[in-house]
Amino acid sequence: MTDTKTPTREMAPARPAWHVILVRPETMTLVLLIAGVIGASILSPFFLDVNYILRSFTLTAEMSIVALVLTMVVISGEIDLSPAANMALSACTFALMQDVGVPLPLAVLIGLGAGLAMGALNAFMSIRMQLPSIIVTIGTLILYRGLAQIIAGDRSIRLPDSFIGINAIMVFGVPLPVVIFVIVALVLGLVLGTTVVGRKIYQIGTNQAAAHHAGIDANRIKIGLFLLLGVVSAAAGIMAASRLGSVRYDLVAGGELQMVLMAMLGGTYIFGGRGTILGTFLAAWLLVIVSTGMTVANLMPAIQLTVLGILLIVAIIATNFIYARTQR
Amino acid sequence: MSFLRSIFMRRETGILVMIVLFCIAVGFVKPQFLTGQSLRIILLLTPLIMIGAMAQMLVLVARHVDLSIGSILGFSAMVVGLMYRDFPEIHWLVGFPVAILTGAALGLGNGLLVTVFRLPSIIVTLGTLSLYRGMTFIISDARQINRSNIPTELKVMSRTSPIFDIPWIILIAFAVALMTYVVARHTRLGRQIYALGSNPVAAPLRGIDVTKVTLIVFALSGALSGLAGILYASRWGFVNPSNTGAGFEFQVIAAVVIGGVSINGGVGTVLGTVLGVLLLGCVAAALPLLGIAGSTQNAIYGAVILIALIIDRSVRQRGVADNSKDIA
């Protein structure tokens, strides 16, 4: 290193194949998932019941679906903390519409439209106004939740019986929300992993300036992602309404933490450019295993809050560590 | 002329004008708004937010953010509440050092995670928001500390004091603001915080111990949140594991952003923050008088944050060259 010759840039040796396959955040998620299953089944013999786990998954399926889209937003280098509030406001809009006599399909469309509008506001503030999305979406989180509080007040809005019970519909013995989650994961995984748009999203998140020079219209893709997240959040909110049978303004209050947690736990890099749908998919299951495991082990719900917080911090430490090792 | 111009161009002048216009407008509709009594109401609404805002201002100036302050407030208040309930023989004033030290310890925990593992503060504090809240449930066994357990002397602090009968908690809040002013403008630490936030890359090159400054900032944020915790017990006379401090972070961030503290670090004044807090207090005091339901408050906070962000953006565009929108 001390010689004064012009330094020749040598290529770093390629990482061995096992290293590439094994040393990645998704592996950590998978290991945690397996450990969680083993741990929970030791804690309680009632745990290893596939139907029970599937039914438990319906409780968080809506948020898991949103987390899949959120993963793409984070990979593109932005973040959105408002989807949980979006779910609440869309669901309240939908419920109020059908309450005043709007036909159900139209009410659903209006709910989805509300979600799209919320996504558009996030996109406008973050992309057009060039403000940091993290602060913008803290603002819109409060705004959307507050608007839901205004339009719904303190009451819970009942839904017609015909609309209730999406979680009771079974497709080959699997609850419909779980099926939807798996399908959305497959579609988004294919989009992100195999299409040009997917590669562009990674490129934008890795280096926006370079992406710009490569002729990628970063803003257009990011706006598209915010809009998609808005609509999907609204759909998830309406699904949650169908599962719960009534809607209140505090629907999935604090859900933003769980969604961010799913993405982080799945190895999505908070500064963008890295992450996979598979990781978030596994993380969603991990969370269900952890929370049902704690429930069957009769642990206080408050402890679950603590565990969620610890998991988020551990996940991001591990992810940062793994990326620091594998990245030059 | 240039002196007048510089006053006119100050951010603080703009907020002051907004406060005056708002009060005149409300006073026009409801004359009783412009009385000493409502000034007292406004001032009583703000002490906790004022203290939290001073802490958050320093954190934002250092180019970090602390979302866990509401949970720190709740945890410290709960520790003090448990002490009052289970050890009534201890002098009530001991509660103050206990609350402040508890808060400082939790804040230091945030700081260590941020500095040791080099994690983004936004994710760390989102995790500890959940973690500290869960711990509050665990130590309290999910039960509330009731009015009868809080010492009367502490509760009286929210009603009066020997100085012109102004409640102690208002005096404490302004004392904290004054001390923050001195620290920010006239101490080495204060200038280092501004230097760090203005340019985190250049700061260590100028001999600033970035780790130390960051740790101090987070510990201060925790300590002040702890102080706000015991004052919460004084003001409301109870401590509830789920309500106490919930959403505090959003009110504080709203006040600070309105006060002109830049989320990109390095910019922010105590005077602006105080005015931001007072503006929020005026809005909160005027709503019930105008017959607007309390449930609109959150939506208004959210809208005010977004408007403040847009104003901040346009001011910056006209001012010095804008550097980066990254790193919250």
What band does A256 get if pLDDT is binned at 50, 70 and 90? Answer: confident
pLDDT for B4 equals 63
pLDDT for B325 equals 41
Exposed (0-12), middle (13-18) or buried (19+): which is A280, by Cβ within 10 Å? buried
Nearest residue on chain B to A301, alpha-carbon basis: B134
Distances (CA, A) of B29 to B25, B289, B297: 7, 10, 19
Average pLDDT over every residue of A71-78: 93
| Residue-range definition of the domain harbouring residue A169 | 48-326
Quote the minimal CA–CA distance from A172 to chain B in Å. Answer: 37
CA A283-A286-A289 angle, to 5 degrees, is: 155
pLDDT for B9 equals 63
Q: With an 8 Å Cβ cutoff, is B101 touching chain A?
A: no
| CA Rg value for chain A | 21
Identify the sign of the CA torsion B64, B65, B68, B73.
positive
Best residue of A124, A129, A135 to probe chain B, by most B CBs closer than 10 Å: A135
Instruction: Let me know if residue A249 belongs to a domain.
Output: yes
Instruction: Let me know if residue A188 belongs to a domain.
Output: yes
Quote the minimal CA–CA distance from B187 to chain A in Å. Answer: 29
Contact A139 B302 (CB under 8 A): yes
pTM score, two decimals?
0.83
Q: How many residues in total does chain A contain?
A: 328
Best residue of B130, B244, B261 to probe chain A, by most A CBs closer than 10 Å: B130
Contact, B268 vs B190, CB < 8 A? no
Residues of A with CB under 8 A from a CB of B: 125, 129-132, 134-136, 138-147, 149-150, 153-154, 254, 257, 260, 264, 270-271, 300, 302-310, 312-313, 316-317, 320
* Cβ neighbours of B120 in A, within 8 Å: 270-271
CATH number at A55 reads 1.10.3470
Average pLDDT over every residue of A19-48: 78
Average pLDDT over every residue of A270-290: 88
Contact A313 B241 (CB under 8 A): no
What band does A299 get if pLDDT is binned at 50, 70 and 90? Answer: confident
Global ipTM: 0.79
On the question of pLDDT at A9 being above 70, the answer is no
Average pLDDT over every residue of A157-183: 86
Quote the minimal CA–CA distance from B303 to chain A in Å. Answer: 6
pLDDT for B315 equals 67
Contact A142 B297 (CB under 8 A): no
Nearest residue on chain B to A320, alpha-carbon basis: B119
Instruction: Let me know if residue A37 belongs to a domain.
Output: no
Domains of chain B and any CATH numbers? 11-314 (1.10.3470)
Contact B302 A143 (CB under 8 A): yes
Instruction: Let me know if residue A211 belongs to a domain.
Output: yes
Which H or E element spans position A283? Answer: helix A277-296
Span A11-27, pLDDT tens digits? 666 777 777 766 777 88
Q: With an 8 Å Cβ cutoff, is B313 touching chain A?
A: yes
Contact A139 B138 (CB under 8 A): no
Quote the minimal CA–CA distance from B293 to chain A in Å. Answer: 8
Which of B246, B250, B217, B215 has the alpha carbon at shortest distance from B229? B246
Which of A132, A145, A313 is closest, CB to CB, to B298?
A145
A-B interface: how many C-beta pairs under 8 angstroms?
142
Instruction: State how far the Cα of B53 lies from the Cα of B321, in Å rounded to an integer.
Output: 27
pLDDT for A328 equals 42
For chain A, give the mean pLDDT: 86
Which of B129, B131, B298 is closest, CB to CB, to A146?
B298
Instruction: State how far the Cα of A25 lies from the Cα of B241, in Å rounded to an integer.
Output: 35
Instruction: Let me know if residue A227 belongs to a domain.
Output: yes
pLDDT for B327 equals 38
Which of A131, A153, A310 is closest, CB to CB, to B295?
A153
What is the count of structural domains for chain A? Answer: 1
On the question of pLDDT at A1 being above 60, the answer is no
pLDDT for B323 equals 42
Instruction: Let me know if residue A89 belongs to a domain.
Output: yes
What is the DSSP code (8-state) at residue B158?
Answer: T
Nearest residue on chain A to B127, alpha-carbon basis: A309
* Cβ neighbours of B328 in A, within 8 Å: 132, 134-135
Instruction: Let me know if residue A318 belongs to a domain.
Output: yes
Contact B132 A309 (CB under 8 A): yes
On the question of pLDDT at A261 being above 70, the answer is yes
Q: Which residues of chain B have pLDDT under 50?
A: 320-328
Quote the minimal CA–CA distance from B244 to chain A in Å. Answer: 15
Contact A134 B122 (CB under 8 A): yes
Which of B113, B301, B306 is closest, CB to CB, to A125?
B306
Contact, B28 vs B20, CB < 8 A? no
Instruction: Let me know if residue A26 belongs to a domain.
Output: no
Best residue of B240, B257, B298 to probe chain A, by most A CBs closer than 10 Å: B298
Contact A144 B302 (CB under 8 A): yes
In chain B, alpha helices (H) = 2-9, 11-29, 36-45, 47-61, 69-86, 95-116, 121-140, 152-156, 168-186, 188-198, 202-205, 210-236, 248-258, 270-289, 297-318
Which one is predicted more confidently, A292 or B66? B66
pLDDT for B159 equals 78
Quote the minimal CA–CA distance from A168 to chain B in Å. Answer: 31
Cα B110 to its chain centre, rounded Å, is: 17
Contact A260 B129 (CB under 8 A): no
Backbone angles phi, psi at A298, to 5 degrees: 60, 40
What band does A289 get if pLDDT is binned at 50, 70 and 90? Answer: confident
Q: Which amino acid is at A191?
A: V
CA B246-B275-B25 angle, to 5 degrees, is: 100
- Window 213-252 of B: residues touching A by CB (8 A cutoff) are 241, 250
